[in-house]
Structure 1
Amino acid sequence: MVDIVSIAANTVILGSLYALIAMGFTLVFGVAGQANLAHGGTITIGAFTAWYVAGFGYGIWIGLVAAIAAGALFHALLYRVFVSHIEDGINVLILTLLAGLVVEYVLEAAIGTQSRSVPQLLGGSTSLAGVSFLYNNLLIFALSWVFIIGLFVFVNYTKVGQAIIATSMNEKGAALLGIRTDRITLLTWTVAGVLAGSAGVLYGSYRAASYDMGLTPLILAFAIVILGGIGSIRGSVIAAYIIGFLEVFTTSAISPRLGGMSAFIVIVLVLLAKPTGLYGRELPT
């Protein structure tokens, strides 16, 4: 029998995590018009950075800070050294795909194929409305929304955020207004790295970390961006909850083996029925 309360509760938690996973991908896609296929690799870097730091005895919270720094640095270097010199979108796809594969192969060589458990940010559990929750999962929900709201406020209510919006709408027009669009794009990639690095820690503590863990978040990010609309933060959040619900419902009511199919089905249906997604290409919303 399907437990509606459990499905709703798990959807709320999973949807928030998926929204955070997609934010960085949405931001780069919306501002620069570039699909960063190394996004999953950055999430992997975040997870293993936290795992290593915690393993050295510094604790998972210091690990989270280190993961954020590692994600930001990786994205900044990837953009500055490589992507900024490439104009063709197809070549950016190929380059970022290769970057993601390099991350995967390096980690496989360094740690092997065995999964690692990223320490929980908060231990213990509680029961609400007859449903048991790990405190860690409740904290994942809260932290995901802290990052999401922080991004929304930054983009919509700061001068730098307004420059990001202007660049996303018309890069040449923004340049004519005196906006250094190259710096804005670099900043966008860096912020996306912050989001991806933090998502890696939360995702790794929710499930597990492995050298190839980046593929699933990348597919999820694609599905969420396509469903929500390219560049729409609001659309990505709503889409994340829709996909989260579909995965939880499928896993609970049909079969755990089919949970991962939700994102693929969403991609196909949206591309056929409404290619612009729920909200189209609107970064500020």
Structure 2
Amino acid sequence: MVDIVTIAANTVIVGSLYALIAVGFTLVFGVAGQANLAHGGTITIGAFTAWYVAGLGHSVWIGLVAAIVTGALFHALLYRVFVSHIDDGVNVLILTLLAGLVVEYLLEAVVGTQSRAVPQLLEGETTVAGVSFLYNNLLIFALSWVFIIALFAFVNYTKVGQAIIATSMNEKGAALLGIRTDRVTLLTWTVAGVLAGSAGVLYGSFRAASYDMGLTPLVLAFAIVILGGIGSIRGSVVAAYIIGFLEVATTSVEPRLGGMSALIVIALVLLAKPTGLYGRELPA
């Protein structure tokens, strides 16, 4: 029998993690109009950075900081060295796909195909309303929202954030106002790298890390962005909880169907409402 309380509780946790996975992807798409298919690779880099740092005997929290730095650097270098010199969106799509595959093949060569356990950020468990929770999963929920709220605050209440909004609305118009749109786009990619790197650590501690772990988050990000509306961070958060609920409910009935719900959502939304729940709006 399906336990509604357990499904609801797990949806809250999974949805917050999926929202963190998707907002970085959404941010780049909303501001630069570029689909970064290396987003899943960045999540993988974040997870393995934390795993490696922990393997050296350091705290997983230091690993989280290291993952944030490596995620930001990977995105910044990817944009500055390659993407910034490409105008065509299709070529950006191809390039970032290749970058994600390079990450996957390199990690397969270095760490092999065996999954690696990223240490939990907090040990132990508790019971709430008859439902058992790992402290680590509760912390995933809390940290995901810390990053998401920080992003909202940054975009909406800082001058740099206003420049990001202006660039997302009209890049040429923003440039006429004196905004260095190239720097804004670089910053956007870097912030997305911070979010993806941190998401990798949380995702790795939730489901372990493997060389090909980036594929599932990438598919989830696509489904969430399409359902929420391309370019809408708010829509991505709402959509993440819908996708999270569908996945938790589906796997509670048949575990082998995990991930199928995201693909079905992509097909249905593209057929019924291509603009998604919120359409294309400001990036926050």
**TM, length-normalised to structure 1:** 0.99
**1:271 partner letter:** L
Q: Deviations over 1:156-187 (max 9, x none)?
A: 11100000000000000000000000000000
* Mapped contact 2:229–2:279 kept (Cα < 8 A): yes
* Mapped contact 2:30–2:283 kept (Cα < 8 A): no
Structure 2 residue aligned with 1:104: 104
Cα shift at 1:142: 0.0
SS, match of residue 126 in structure 1:
strand
Structure 2 residue aligned with 1:274: 273
Structure 2: stretches of 5+ with no match in the other structure: none
Q: Does 1:199 align with 2:199?
A: yes
Structure 2 residue aligned with 1:262: 261
Q: Deviations over 1:226-269 (max 9, x none)?
A: 000011111000000000000000111x2011121010000000
SS, match of residue 127 in structure 1:
strand
Structure 2 residue aligned with 1:149: 149
Q: Deviations over 1:130-154 (max 9, x none)?
A: 0000000000000000000000010
Cα shift at 1:283: 2.6
2: CA distance, partners of 1:163 / 1:177: 10
* Mapped contact 2:27–2:283 kept (Cα < 8 A): no
After the TM superposition, which residues 24-43 of structure 1 pair with which residues of structure 2 at under 5 Å, given as runs?
A: 24-43=24-43
1: CA distance, partners of 2:262 / 2:29: 18
SS, match of residue 84 in structure 1:
helix
2: CA distance, partners of 1:91 / 1:223: 22
Structure 2 residue aligned with 1:168: 168
Structure 2 residue aligned with 1:226: 226
Cα shift at 1:212: 0.3
After the TM superposition, which residues 1-285 of structure 1 pair with which residues of structure 2 at under 5 Å, given as runs?
A: 1-252=1-252, 254-285=253-284
Q: Deviations over 1:92-117 (max 9, x none)?
A: 00000000000000000001000000
* Mapped contact 1:27–1:283 kept (Cα < 8 A): no
Cα shift at 1:282: 1.3
**TM, length-normalised to structure 2:** 0.99
2: CA distance, partners of 1:281 / 1:58: 43
Paired residue total? 284
**2:104 partner letter:** E
1: CA distance, partners of 2:63 / 2:134: 20
* Mapped contact 2:75–2:193 kept (Cα < 8 A): yes
Cα shift at 1:58: 1.1
* Mapped contact 2:31–2:283 kept (Cα < 8 A): no
> Quick one: structure 1 residues 260 and 284, their matched pair in 2 at CA, closer, same or farther if it must change by over 3 Å?
closer
SS, match of residue 275 in structure 1:
coil
Q: Which runs of 4+ in 1 moved over 2 A?
A: none
2: CA distance, partners of 1:25 / 1:185: 13
Cα shift at 1:284: 3.9
1: CA distance, partners of 2:177 / 2:75: 27
SS, match of residue 49 in structure 1:
helix
Structure 1: stretches of 5+ with no match in the other structure: none
2: CA distance, partners of 1:145 / 1:51: 23
1: CA distance, partners of 2:214 / 2:191: 18
How many percent of aligned residue pairs carry the same amino acid? 89
2: CA distance, partners of 1:157 / 1:216: 33
Task: Say what the alpha-carbon RMSD is for the aligned residues.
Answer: 0.5
